[in-house]
Amino acid sequence: MKQTIMVVEDDKMIRNLIRIYLEKNGYEVVEAADGEEAKTVFLKYYPCLIILDLMLPKLSGEAFCKWVKEQENGEVSIIMLSAKTSIEDKITGLRIGADDYMTKPFDPNELIAHIEAVLRRTGQYCQKIVSNGLCIKPRKGEVLLHNKPIQLTKFEFNLLYVFMQHPNIVLSREQLVNELYPHSENNVMDRTIDAHIKKLREKIEEEPAKPKRIQTVRGMGYKFVQAN
């Protein structure tokens, strides 16, 4: 799965330039043009790394950086990319939580090298799958929905993980039974899977009776719909 990088920059030309180089190097890219929009985008996509301009409209880069660190407890990396070039500015950026600091103008290839270096150090924290505000962290056993923890049973967690690993693919009840009960010697009935899915929908769907994430495919099984 591709790692997602978020570009927070009010200059559209710079955002587009960074996007081109990131996508060329195999990353998924999401964008924000100001600090307030960045909060919304962050909570939807939970990126692995953020490229952050400091001089932003509505909410400064410094304030956004502090907010991110409060949300993710150090699980997202930040590279500050700023026209502020003084040593004091760099030290301040690093002290408030940045993992790296680059100044403008910059060489896009050098930025890619910095991104790769930061992710080598911190990439183990980015083992998560995200879809439209729903984030599962298998390494920590956590699920977040719009940044709020969701309490799942072991079977619900494993079921959601299987679904999110195979987005937009129909999974039969038999396949799901084999994933959830691989060593079971007794027959696990289809309605057991249906019961797990009903309870899971109650926790992650806005309208469980009209699910948008986990959809029933009549006569075939279920599929997890990956939102853009």
Query: Each residue of 135-158: pLDDT tens digit?
Result: 898 877 889 998 889 999 999 999
155: enclosing H helix or E strand: helix 154-165
How far apart are the C-alpha atoms of 18 and 202, rounded to whole Å?
40
Please give the model's pTM, rounded to 2 decimal places: 0.74
Q: Which are the contacts of 98, defined by CB distance < 8 A and separation ≥ 6?
A: 52, 65, 78, 79, 80
pLDDT in tens, 33-84: 999 999 999 988 889 899 999 889 999 999 999 999 887 656 789 999 988 8
